[in-house]
Amino acid sequence: MADLAGPEVAVWQVLEARAHDLLKRHGYAEVRTPILEPTDLFARGLGDTTDVVQKEMYTFTDRGGRSLTLRPEGTASVIRHVAARGAEGLSARLYYLGPMFRSERPQAGRRRQFHQVGLERLGEPDPLADAEVIALQVDLLADWGLEGTRLLVNTRGTPEDRVAVSKGLQVALRPLAEALCEDCRRRIDTNPLRVLDCKRPACQEATRDVPSPVSWMSPESRVYFDTVVRALGAMGLDAEPTPRLVRGLDYYVHTVWEITHPGLGAQDAVAGGGRYLLPLEGKGIPGVGFAVGMERAVLALESAGRLPEPPRPPHVVFLAGLGQAAGLANLGLARDLRRSGLTVLAGDCHRSLKSQLKSADKASADWALIRGEDELARREVTLRRLRDGWQTTVPDDPDAVRNALVETNES
């Protein structure tokens, strides 16, 4: 887990502001769910056999004897929220930004507290809705300035397909068990689809000739997936069908996808999503959604030299006061100028003028308002333009100072 500060925070703020703007223009409303949830919400929703539930969640018992978990992903919490709204929530379009927590092995762009921008579009399975959500995620990354991504898509089929897929994979994988890692040998009986998603080279080589799970799916599932790919093509997106793309959560049905970027190295996924049927309170709630890892996106943008420049506030004004009396007078002037929309920084009135002006230069201020004993006696303020040293005096009055700033900026 890491702090975010300084220039890095400024970059994140730009990306978050662009995300807010784009997602709202697509009709999504923000939701903010708790960081802590009952453990059962994730254990049931994500699947007991997933690595997230078995190995990665931060789970503890609180003082009331309840098992609580720091949220490892955003979907389950959002679905819990919309389920409480009844029928009204079943067509919701919601998005979220915030921290998630997984006890994973740390690596580049992956922290145990990480941050995601994600959305959920509730509704019955619809290949056109899936394609639209995928396109929105692509557009979000493009709006951030990330180019050169690849879009990988696959299908998990329907819940009814899972039995046939699991049996077919178990038959194909059991003869290969000795060549697989310990986790994959266990998964053959518990979650054979995850064997195809193993990142160990030995397991990938051993399962190279295993049939695609799609071969055991129904014709309807194949038609659904083909429609998604055609819809993406109609929007000008080049989607790459990827039979081994699994994604690690059990609630996925039909379409799943990942967006990768070469700047991230071997673990190159920057974003992903899928259609799901999330079990909650005895029923399955359908929807489609995605998440973008903020740390991964920033790393990819940095590798491509595309980190956004934070906008610089216009007309930064630095108040330099010499002595306590001038410092006290500057407090009121600073408050008035800030309330009028200006960015105002105040110097330390106990330091020399030269030292304060160095601080103004370091802060990239446009103007210095200087007040010492002489200015106090004359009820004036010295206005100095820092880029060239030009200066004038103006009455010690907020309106007069504002007007002088406007006039000199326009001249």
Determine the pLDDT at residue 87. Answer: 66
Per-residue pLDDT reduced to its tens digit, 131-158: 999 999 999 999 999 999 999 999 999 9
Phi-psi region of 169 (alpha: psi -120 to 50; beta: other; left: phi over 0): alpha
**pLDDT at 395 exceeding the cut of 90:** yes
Lowest model confidence (mean pLDDT) among 55-59, 198-202, 236-240: 198-202
Residue 235 is which amino acid?
M
CA dihedral 257, 262, 263, 269 (to 10 degrees): 20
Determine the pLDDT at residue 262. Answer: 94
Same topology, domains 6-160+218-303 and 316-410? Answer is no
Residue spans per domain, the chain: 6-160+218-303, 316-410
Mean pLDDT, residues 195-206 taken together: 91
What is the CB-side half-sphere exposure of residue 240 using CA atoms within 13 A? 10
Please report which confidence band the pLDDT of residue 410 belongs to, taking 50, 70 and 90 as the band edges. low
What count of other Cβ atoms lies within 10 Å of the Cβ of residue 352?
A: 12
Instruction: Look at the domain 316-410 and name its fold.
Output: Rossmann fold (3.40.50)
Determine the pLDDT at residue 318. Answer: 97
Mean pLDDT, residues 264-277 taken together: 93
* Contact yes or no for 278/251 (Cβ under 8 A): yes
CATH number of 6-160+218-303: 3.30.930.10
Per-residue pLDDT reduced to its tens digit, 322-335: 999 999 999 999 99
